[in-house]
Amino acid sequence: MKNLVSYRFVFYLGVFVFFISCSTSHQLFPMHELKEVPSLSSRVETFYWDDTLKKKQKARGVMRWVKGCKIQLSFRVPFVQSEAMRVEFSPTKIELFNRLDKEYVELSYVKLKGVFPQLVSFEELEEILYLTLQSGKKGKISGDKLGLSAFSGYDLFIERVNLEPIELFQTKVPKSYNWVSEDDFINQINLYE
Protein backbone atom coordinates (compact mmCIF):
# COMPACT_ATOMS: atom_id res chain seq x y z
CA MET A 1 0.00 0.00 0.00
CA LYS A 2 1.22 3.43 -0.90
CA ASN A 3 0.17 5.44 2.09
CA LEU A 4 -1.50 3.74 5.04
CA VAL A 5 -2.18 7.06 6.77
CA SER A 6 -4.38 8.15 3.86
CA TYR A 7 -6.19 4.81 3.87
CA ARG A 8 -6.77 4.99 7.57
CA PHE A 9 -8.15 8.51 7.21
CA VAL A 10 -10.53 7.51 4.42
CA PHE A 11 -11.61 4.38 6.25
CA TYR A 12 -12.18 6.26 9.51
CA LEU A 13 -14.32 8.81 7.73
CA GLY A 14 -16.25 6.12 5.95
CA VAL A 15 -16.90 3.86 8.85
CA PHE A 16 -17.27 6.65 11.34
CA VAL A 17 -20.28 8.05 9.54
CA PHE A 18 -22.06 5.05 11.10
CA PHE A 19 -21.58 6.80 14.43
CA ILE A 20 -22.33 10.35 13.44
CA SER A 21 -22.01 13.35 15.68
CA CYS A 22 -23.82 16.26 14.08
CA SER A 23 -25.02 19.80 14.53
CA THR A 24 -27.58 21.43 12.29
CA SER A 25 -27.17 25.15 11.85
CA HIS A 26 -30.42 26.00 10.10
CA GLN A 27 -34.11 25.41 10.52
CA LEU A 28 -35.44 22.14 11.78
CA PHE A 29 -37.51 20.11 9.39
CA PRO A 30 -40.56 18.20 10.50
CA MET A 31 -39.69 14.49 10.57
CA HIS A 32 -42.39 13.71 7.99
CA GLU A 33 -40.84 16.27 5.61
CA LEU A 34 -37.40 14.69 5.98
CA LYS A 35 -38.82 11.22 5.45
CA GLU A 36 -40.79 12.28 2.35
CA VAL A 37 -38.01 13.88 0.32
CA PRO A 38 -36.30 11.38 -2.00
CA SER A 39 -32.90 13.03 -1.59
CA LEU A 40 -31.02 15.79 0.18
CA SER A 41 -27.61 17.36 0.45
CA SER A 42 -25.65 19.19 3.14
CA ARG A 43 -22.28 20.58 4.10
CA VAL A 44 -20.11 18.41 6.34
CA GLU A 45 -16.84 18.78 8.16
CA THR A 46 -14.62 16.69 10.35
CA PHE A 47 -11.27 17.03 12.07
CA TYR A 48 -8.38 14.60 11.68
CA TRP A 49 -4.81 14.30 12.88
CA ASP A 50 -2.22 15.19 10.24
CA ASP A 51 0.95 13.17 10.95
CA THR A 52 3.02 15.32 8.61
CA LEU A 53 2.13 18.65 10.24
CA LYS A 54 1.65 17.13 13.71
CA LYS A 55 -1.62 18.96 14.26
CA LYS A 56 -5.36 18.65 13.90
CA GLN A 57 -6.74 19.62 10.50
CA LYS A 58 -10.24 20.34 9.26
CA ALA A 59 -11.67 18.54 6.24
CA ARG A 60 -14.76 20.13 4.71
CA GLY A 61 -17.08 18.58 2.25
CA VAL A 62 -20.53 17.65 1.06
CA MET A 63 -22.93 14.85 1.86
CA ARG A 64 -25.34 13.77 -0.86
CA TRP A 65 -28.04 11.27 0.06
CA VAL A 66 -30.43 9.50 -2.28
CA LYS A 67 -32.68 7.63 0.10
CA GLY A 68 -32.58 3.85 -0.03
CA CYS A 69 -29.83 3.99 -2.64
CA LYS A 70 -26.63 5.79 -1.72
CA ILE A 71 -24.96 8.16 0.74
CA GLN A 72 -21.94 9.96 -0.64
CA LEU A 73 -19.39 11.94 1.38
CA SER A 74 -16.91 14.05 -0.52
CA PHE A 75 -14.05 15.83 1.29
CA ARG A 76 -11.46 18.47 0.59
CA VAL A 77 -8.48 18.88 2.88
CA PRO A 78 -6.39 22.03 3.44
CA PHE A 79 -4.15 23.03 0.53
CA VAL A 80 -5.93 20.74 -1.95
CA GLN A 81 -8.10 22.60 -4.46
CA SER A 82 -10.10 19.57 -5.57
CA GLU A 83 -11.77 16.57 -3.98
CA ALA A 84 -9.28 14.63 -1.84
CA MET A 85 -11.45 11.68 -0.86
CA ARG A 86 -14.87 10.23 -1.48
CA VAL A 87 -16.76 7.61 0.50
CA GLU A 88 -19.91 6.04 -0.92
CA PHE A 89 -22.32 3.88 1.06
CA SER A 90 -24.90 1.70 -0.66
CA PRO A 91 -27.04 -1.10 0.80
CA THR A 92 -24.38 -3.73 -0.03
CA LYS A 93 -20.98 -2.00 -0.01
CA ILE A 94 -18.75 0.92 0.93
CA GLU A 95 -16.45 2.38 -1.72
CA LEU A 96 -13.42 4.49 -0.82
CA PHE A 97 -11.77 6.76 -3.39
CA ASN A 98 -8.45 8.15 -2.20
CA ARG A 99 -7.90 10.92 -4.75
CA LEU A 100 -4.60 12.01 -3.19
CA ASP A 101 -2.87 8.65 -3.64
CA LYS A 102 -5.02 7.45 -6.55
CA GLU A 103 -6.26 4.35 -4.74
CA TYR A 104 -9.62 2.61 -4.58
CA VAL A 105 -11.08 0.12 -2.11
CA GLU A 106 -14.45 -1.64 -2.26
CA LEU A 107 -15.68 -3.15 1.01
CA SER A 108 -18.71 -5.43 1.31
CA TYR A 109 -20.99 -5.14 4.33
CA VAL A 110 -21.00 -8.93 4.65
CA LYS A 111 -17.23 -9.08 5.12
CA LEU A 112 -17.11 -5.94 7.28
CA LYS A 113 -19.82 -7.28 9.59
CA GLY A 114 -17.79 -10.48 9.97
CA VAL A 115 -14.79 -8.47 11.18
CA PHE A 116 -16.58 -5.53 12.82
CA PRO A 117 -19.92 -6.91 14.07
CA GLN A 118 -20.87 -3.56 15.67
CA LEU A 119 -21.42 -1.86 12.32
CA VAL A 120 -24.95 -0.80 11.53
CA SER A 121 -26.67 -1.64 8.26
CA PHE A 122 -27.28 0.88 5.51
CA GLU A 123 -30.92 1.14 6.62
CA GLU A 124 -29.86 1.80 10.22
CA LEU A 125 -27.43 4.45 8.98
CA GLU A 126 -30.27 6.21 7.17
CA GLU A 127 -32.33 6.17 10.37
CA ILE A 128 -29.38 7.63 12.32
CA LEU A 129 -29.17 10.42 9.74
CA TYR A 130 -32.92 11.13 10.03
CA LEU A 131 -32.70 11.39 13.79
CA THR A 132 -29.52 13.45 13.73
CA LEU A 133 -30.86 15.94 11.21
CA GLN A 134 -34.10 16.21 13.16
CA SER A 135 -32.48 16.66 16.58
CA GLY A 136 -31.43 20.27 16.03
CA LYS A 137 -28.90 20.04 18.81
CA LYS A 138 -25.28 19.09 18.89
CA GLY A 139 -24.94 15.43 19.66
CA LYS A 140 -21.85 13.32 20.00
CA ILE A 141 -21.34 9.63 19.61
CA SER A 142 -17.74 8.60 20.12
CA GLY A 143 -16.11 6.49 17.43
CA ASP A 144 -14.77 4.08 20.01
CA LYS A 145 -18.33 2.76 20.38
CA LEU A 146 -17.53 0.89 17.17
CA GLY A 147 -15.29 -1.31 19.27
CA LEU A 148 -12.09 -0.13 17.60
CA SER A 149 -9.83 2.23 19.50
CA ALA A 150 -8.54 3.72 16.25
CA PHE A 151 -11.94 5.29 15.56
CA SER A 152 -12.13 7.48 18.65
CA GLY A 153 -11.91 11.20 18.01
CA TYR A 154 -13.47 11.31 14.52
CA ASP A 155 -16.64 13.39 14.64
CA LEU A 156 -18.68 14.43 11.63
CA PHE A 157 -20.66 17.68 11.70
CA ILE A 158 -23.57 18.33 9.32
CA GLU A 159 -24.95 21.76 8.49
CA ARG A 160 -26.85 23.64 5.79
CA VAL A 161 -29.22 20.86 4.88
CA ASN A 162 -30.87 21.33 1.50
CA LEU A 163 -34.02 19.35 0.67
CA GLU A 164 -33.85 20.13 -3.05
CA PRO A 165 -33.80 16.95 -5.18
CA ILE A 166 -30.41 15.63 -6.28
CA GLU A 167 -29.28 12.80 -8.50
CA LEU A 168 -26.18 10.66 -7.93
CA PHE A 169 -24.33 8.86 -10.66
CA GLN A 170 -21.99 5.90 -10.30
CA THR A 171 -18.46 7.13 -9.55
CA LYS A 172 -16.10 5.74 -12.14
CA VAL A 173 -12.73 4.42 -10.97
CA PRO A 174 -10.03 5.99 -13.17
CA LYS A 175 -7.69 3.55 -14.90
CA SER A 176 -4.74 5.25 -13.21
CA TYR A 177 -5.99 4.23 -9.73
CA ASN A 178 -4.48 1.33 -7.83
CA TRP A 179 -7.03 -1.18 -6.60
CA VAL A 180 -6.45 -2.32 -3.01
CA SER A 181 -7.92 -5.66 -2.00
CA GLU A 182 -10.56 -5.74 0.68
CA ASP A 183 -8.63 -8.34 2.70
CA ASP A 184 -5.40 -6.31 2.64
CA PHE A 185 -7.23 -3.18 3.68
CA ILE A 186 -9.07 -4.87 6.58
CA ASN A 187 -5.84 -6.56 7.73
CA GLN A 188 -4.07 -3.19 7.82
CA ILE A 189 -6.88 -1.68 9.93
CA ASN A 190 -6.73 -4.66 12.31
CA LEU A 191 -3.01 -4.00 12.93
CA TYR A 192 -3.94 -0.86 14.84
CA GLU A 193 -6.19 -2.65 17.29
**Is 60 within a domain?**
yes
Residue 86: pLDDT band with limits 50, 70, 90? very high
| 153 CB neighbour count, 10 Å cutoff | 16
In a domain, 16, yes or no: yes
In a domain, 171, yes or no: no
Look at residue 78 in the predicted model and tell me its pLDDT.
Answer: 76
pLDDT digits 0-9 by tens, 101-145: 999 999 998 888 888 777 778 888 888 777 777 765 443 444 544
Mean pLDDT computed over 44-67: 85
Given a cut of 80, whether residue 26 has pLDDT beyond it is no
pLDDT at 12 over 80: no
For the ranges 7-16, 143-152, 156-165, the maximum mean pLDDT occurs at 156-165
| Confidence (pLDDT) at 156 | 73
pTM to 2 decimal places:
0.79
User: What residues contact 43, with CB distance under 8 A and at least 6 apart?
Assistant: 60, 61, 62, 63, 158, 159, 160
Show the domain range for 148.
4-164+177-190
Q: Is the pLDDT of residue 146 over 50?
A: no
| Confidence category of residue 173, pLDDT binned at 50, 70, 90 | very high
Within a domain: residue 138? yes
How confident is the model over 19-41, as a mean pLDDT?
63
Between 153 and 155, the more confident residue is 155
Q: Which residue has the higher pLDDT, 12 or 122?
A: 122
pLDDT bracket for residue 10 (50, 70, 90): low
**Separation of CA 184 from chain center:** 20
- In one-letter notation, the amino acid at residue 67 is K
Quick one: pLDDT at residue 71? 92
- Does residue 169 form part of some domain? no
- Residue 117 resides in a domain: yes
What is the Cα–Cα distance from 94 to 84, expressed in whole angstroms? 17
Give one word for 43, left, alpha or beta, with left for phi > 0 and alpha for psi -120 to 50.
Answer: beta
Chain mean pLDDT for the chain: 76
Instruction: Please indicate, yes or no, if residue 15 is contained in any of the structural domains.
Output: yes
* Total domains present in the chain: 1
In a domain, 37, yes or no: yes
Please say if the pLDDT value at position 5 is more than 60: no
DSSP labels, 114-149: HH-TTPPPHHHHHHHHHHHHHH-S-----GGGGS-G
